[in-house]
Amino acid sequence: MASDTRCLIAYYSRAGENYVGGDIVNLPVGNTEVVARMIEAATGGDLFEIGTVQSYPAGYHETTDVARKELREQARPELRELPESIGSYDVVFLGYPSWWGTPPMAVFTFLEAFDFSGKTIVPFCTHEGSGMGRSERDIAAACPSATVLPGLAITGGRVHSAENEVRRWIEATGLGF
């Protein structure tokens, strides 16, 4: 990592029942967390898991019902904790599963808790077909004083073999990692 650049890797990830490659599977570690840890290894940044006070249902389909309702209502789920500050970070890698083409509403709770003025946000998501969807645009709208770089979308079934893709994407940001 460039000696003068500090980065935070903030991510929301869901272990348990997930849709992967056309099947519902039980993941011991959520796909987005797998990618977040690859970014941590490549950048030396600090990891922060965005977690909600109210857990989502254990079942995949029940979770998608809740996620759709939260999106429709533009809900802001309460988070278990927040970093004390993001002031010392220049770059925030922001990770999430793509739910209905955008991050889970808990990610917006996180974004709205801080002033991202002058920060660079680098989004990454895991998905099963929607890619980045409209998430880059939605993040830029939530953080208009930040620079939002092009994100990386990785299909959930490919996360465990995506390390080289993640490293190339980080290098392509030009941020010096």
> 7-172, superfamily in CATH?
Flavodoxin domain (3.40.50.360)
Q: What percent of the chain clears pLDDT 70, i.e. is strictly above it?
A: 98
Residue 5 binned pLDDT confidence (cut-offs 50, 70, 90): confident
What is the pLDDT, as a whole number, of residue 4?
74
What is the pLDDT, as a whole number, of residue 176?
87
User: Is residue 164 scored above 70 in pLDDT?
Assistant: yes
The CA distance from 129 to 157, in Å, is: 11
Q: What are 102-141's pLDDT values in tens digits?
A: 999 999 999 999 999 999 999 999 999 999 999 999 999 9
Mean pLDDT of 87-98: 97
The CA distance from 173 to 150, in Å, is: 8
Quote the longest CA-to-CA distance of the chain: 45
The CA distance from 128 to 7, in Å, is: 27
The CA distance from 80 to 52, in Å, is: 5
- The pTM assigned to this predicted structure is 0.96
Domain ranges of the chain: 7-172
Mean pLDDT of 146-150: 97
